Amino acid sequence: MSDVEMRKLKQKRTTERTKTTRFITAINEYTEYTPLDDYKHYRGRLQEMLDQLVQLDDAIQDLLEDHKYTFDVETCEEYIDSAKRALLKANQEIGRRLASSATNLCIAELPSAQMSA
């Protein structure tokens, strides 16, 4: 692969890292007042970005010289760990809210006269 192709891959990865960081920051700044739909949306977007980022990382690392490989892997792992922590937070909050909603459901019993009718 040429230097031009490697540079293009790295530029694309920089763009994906920027988007990933934006979604991580958004999730980490959410509070109990953040709408559930926002959690779901940003969780999905972050997962998409993480998947793309991992593919780019793999493509770049396959082409790196040995002395650059270790440093690149360490940097990539920091992004992956941050994204996975944010995904975990989003998943936990979504689960908590859905469980709370289910608990708040009230199933009313029909009076016995209405049931036999």
**Structural domains of the chain, ranges and CATH numbers in brackets:** 3-115 (1.20.58)
Report the chain's mean pLDDT, rounded to a whole number: 89
Give DSSP secondary structure letters for 1-17: --HHHHHHHHHHHHHHH
pLDDT in tens, 4-35: 899 999 999 999 999 999 999 999 999 989 99
pLDDT in tens, 80-117: 999 999 999 999 999 998 887 766 665 555 566 555 55
Query: Helix, strand, or coil here: 2?
Result: coil
∠ at Cα 100 (99, 101), nearest 5°? Answer: 90
| 65 C-beta neighbours (distance < 10 Å), count | 6
Is the model's pTM score more than 0.95?
Answer: no
Tokens of residue 63, six digits: 């082409």
pLDDT band for position 75 (cuts 50, 70, 90):
very high
Give the integer Cα–Cα distance in Å for 76 and 74: 5
